[in-house]
Amino acid sequence: MNKSSDPDSHETESNDDPKRSGLSRWFPWLVLGALVSFIILPNILPGKEIEEIPYDRFLAKIVDGDIATVEIDNRTGQINFESANGLEQKTTGPIELSDEDRKLLSESSASIKFSTPQPGFFQTWLPLLLPVGLIILFFWWINKRAQGQMTGMMSIGRSKAKLYTTERPGTTFDDVAGYAGVKQEIREIVDFLTESKKFAEIGAKVPKGVLLVGPPGTGKTLIARAVAGEAGVPFLSVTGSDFMEMFVGVGASRVRDLFQSARKLGSAIIFIDEVDSVGRKRGAGLGGGHDEREQTLNQMLSEMDGFEGSEGIVMMAATNRPDILDPALLRPGRFDRQIVVPLPELEDRNEILKVHAKGKQISDDVDLNVVARGTPGMSGADLANLINEAALTAVRDNSNSVRAEDLEVARDRILMGQKRDSLALTSDEKEAIAYHEAGHALCAALLPNTDPLHKVTIIPSGMALGVTMQLPEEEKHIYRQNYIEDSLTVRMGGRVAEEIVFGIASTGANNDLVGATELAKKMVREWGMSDEVGPMAWGNQSQVFLGDDLMAGREYSDETARIIDEEIQKILVKQEAACRQLLDENRNALDLIARALLEHETISGDEVTRLIQAANGDSNTESIEDAATVD
């Protein structure tokens, strides 16, 4: 689905005026700076420059009668004097004048003045006040930090929800490609909030909760953002993990604060993303569960449908794990409606690809409908990644537009992984891989109930040394038993081909055997496709999360478990025998496909079909047979 940027948002909790808080924070430092400037600047600013002469010249001027006034500092011995012509000069003499100098000064015609300057207030008290002031400033700073920490502790229980107002519409339903049925159900919630009178006249009540369920990447959060843009009412958005902290009771406090904030707004929508992080089943796991999570869930249940009503408040949530949610959360009155957001169908994929293709230079040879047909099972996020990977591939090839081959390369990279061209394989390993993939391809091409063969390659990609790719022609929602059995035969093709050609098995069939065994287990235990076991199902035995049903016993007896194991083995052995017979009957085609893979490394499904026809004696395919021959 189209990924849209979040609209501007702000926190529900009100913040202080930043101008006032900034002024109060800097005021003490401004006062301190002013005091320091008042003390230091007079001492460092340049004053009036006065010429300084030696003391003996000063005495000579006294004798000559050239000095009019003399001022002597008793503390420093500095002498400032002014000549008869008005010139100001200074000198430094002894602090205690000799008797001769005193007699010389007293006999001169100059005006003599002795002064003893007293220290100022700051010069007297600054050495005492400065340490005291620094101590007071230190304790004031400690007090402010303590107050800030207490403020943080007091606000830890406040909700972290973001409020999207009607002035910031952001994403709308027009930005959500496909999913017409999902948008129709969601639109009913929006219509109720915007046109509540129409529903009230009939007596209809809006669901209190809407749960969006679907695989990852299908656009559940995007749909919620679209509701925020369409609703015309405040929209509070929060994730499930925002409720959890190390302090017990914080989650419940944040839930209360969230609903109080919503009630103050009147009509509002609350959206909780990944609700399974706080909505898991209570009492599950070792020790009875997570107490803080359960308290948070209990508070949420009470707020949604407790004694205190929440009229006008609609709660939305999204999860891809609905099986682990607490049943009390899913009952009517809480999450009344569950809306499934599935993987997109063919038409939806086509619309999603068009949305993501906007703004990109797409070549004329690209048919997005063909791309949509070749991407079954991909989510909206996968399709967005597909278009982006194709654009990156075009840039690497110095192309001015995204071509069809770029989309093909991008799809192969997503489905099969990045090609590992640097992986060095021996000639024997390449031959084994070629026959392994040829066995898969031959079975896929000859069996009637398999998906069409698209491509075969022996170029290492991702964790695989070779890949056989099949693409369905149309969407499938149910799978018949003959389709599953043929799929098992295709999975066995690689291992059986190696045994036929080389007479020995290898480790290359590990993933094939794991997938085949898992598929056979489901046939016996879940789908009732075993005559011996009969129409019985025990579901998936894997644990959804650690601790769930940890102490629960097995649902069937040891004898039934033995029968299940025997039936799984019987199915796998039967399909392996069918695969071996098919490959023995078409040994020439197997050799041709393997030789073509060794020479060309990658061949298409159509080329495989022509090679099979050539092996069966079709005269129109001789050139294809020649192309499969290694020089």
- Reference 313, options 273, 275, 263, 272; nearest CA is 263
Tens digits of residue pLDDT in 109-143: 778 877 777 666 666 666 777 777 778 878 877 77
The per-residue pLDDT for 551 is 45
Query: Mind telling me the catalytic residues?
Result: 437
How many Å apart are CA 463 and CA 357, to the nearest integer? 30
The per-residue pLDDT for 621 is 44
* pLDDT reading at 504 higher than 60: yes
Contact 301, 335 (CB under 8 A): no
Work out the pLDDT band at 602, boundaries 50, 70, 90.
confident
Work out the pLDDT band at 16, boundaries 50, 70, 90.
very low
- Reference 277, options 301, 252, 242, 304; nearest CA is 242
How many Å apart are CA 108 and CA 110, to the nearest integer? 5
Q: Cite the beta strand spans of 439-585 per DSSP E.
A: 453-457, 467-470
Paired tokens of 439: 């066995």
The backbone torsions φ and ψ at residue 600, rounded to the nearest 5 degrees and listed phi first, read -105, -15
* pLDDT reading at 75 higher than 70: yes
* pLDDT reading at 301 higher than 70: yes
Helix 558-585, helix 587-600: angle, nearest 10 = 80
**β-bridge pairing 78-83 and 602-604:** unpaired
Q: Left (φ > 0), alpha (ψ -120 to 50) or beta: where does 217 sit?
A: left
- Reference 222, options 179, 181, 258; nearest CA is 179
* pLDDT reading at 146 higher than 70: no
Strand order in the sheet with 10-11: 10-11, 162-164, 235-239, 268-273, 313-319, 209-213, 337-340
Tens digits of residue pLDDT in 315-335: 888 888 888 888 888 888 788
The per-residue pLDDT for 608 is 92
Helix (H) or strand (E) segment spanning residue 346:
helix 346-357
* pLDDT reading at 626 higher than 80: no
Helix (H) or strand (E) segment spanning residue 550:
none
How many Å apart are CA 13 and CA 163, to the nearest integer? 10
Tens digits of residue pLDDT in 542-589: 444 444 444 445 677 888 889 999 999 999 999 999 999 999 999 999
- Reference 435, options 493, 479, 482; nearest CA is 493
Quick one: how far is CA 541 from the chain centroid? 31
**Within a 13 Å sphere around the CA of 429, how many CA atoms are in the beta-carbon half?**
10
How many Å apart are CA 380 and CA 442, to the nearest integer? 33
CATH class of 346-416: mainly alpha
Quick one: how far is CA 121 from the chain centroid? 63
Work out the pLDDT band at 69, boundaries 50, 70, 90.
confident
The per-residue pLDDT for 41 is 59
How many Å apart are CA 206 and CA 208, to the nearest integer? 6
**β-bridge pairing 313-319 and 268-273:** parallel
Tens digits of residue pLDDT in 250-274: 777 777 778 888 778 777 788 888 8
DSSP three-state, residue 348: helix
- Reference 273, options 161, 385, 188; nearest CA is 161
Those residues whose C-beta lies under 8 Å from the C-beta of residue 334, and which sit 6 or more positions away, are 208, 209, 301, 304, 305, 328
How many Å apart are CA 259 and CA 237, to the nearest integer? 12
* pLDDT reading at 24 higher than 60: no
The per-residue pLDDT for 516 is 94
More confidently predicted of 497 and 466:
497
In CATH terms, the fold of domain 427-539+555-627 is: Methane Monooxygenase Hydroxylase; Chain G, domain 1 (1.20.58)
In CATH terms, the fold of domain 51-117 is: 3.30.720
Q: Which of the given ranges, 14-23, 113-122, 291-300, 586-595, has the highest pLDDT on average?
A: 586-595
Contact 72, 115 (CB under 8 A): yes
Contact 275, 318 (CB under 8 A): yes
DSSP three-state, residue 157: coil
How many Å apart are CA 103 and CA 94, to the nearest integer? 15
**pLDDT > 70 in the chain, percent:** 77
For all residues of the chain together, what is the average pLDDT?
Answer: 77
**Within a 13 Å sphere around the CA of 478, how many CA atoms are in the beta-carbon half?**
3
Tens digits of residue pLDDT in 87-110: 888 888 777 777 777 777 777 777
For 162-340, CATH gives 3.40.50.300
The per-residue pLDDT for 623 is 44
Radius of gyration of the chain (CA): 43
More confidently predicted of 589 and 67:
589
Average confidence (pLDDT) over 18-36: 62
Strand partners, 69: 82, 111
The per-residue pLDDT for 120 is 62
Contact 490, 440 (CB under 8 A): yes
More confidently predicted of 421 and 616:
616
Range in 56-65, 530-539, 614-623 the model is least confident about: 614-623
Range in 123-132, 190-199, 374-383, 559-568 the model is least confident about: 123-132
Contacts 24+ apart (CB under 8 A), 24-29: 28/137, 28/140
Other beta carbons less than 10 A from residue 398's beta carbon: 6
Q: Where are the alpha helices (DSSP H) in 215-319?
A: 220-231, 250-264, 291-304
Domain ranges in the chain are: 51-117, 162-340, 346-416, 427-539+555-627
More confidently predicted of 439 and 425:
439
pTM of the entire structure?
0.62
More confidently predicted of 470 and 631:
470
Helix (H) or strand (E) segment spanning residue 626:
helix 622-627
More confidently predicted of 174 and 365:
365
Work out the pLDDT band at 625, boundaries 50, 70, 90.
very low
How many Å apart are CA 471 and CA 453, to the nearest integer? 7
Paired tokens of 113: 């003045």
Quick one: how far is CA 594 from the chain centroid? 44
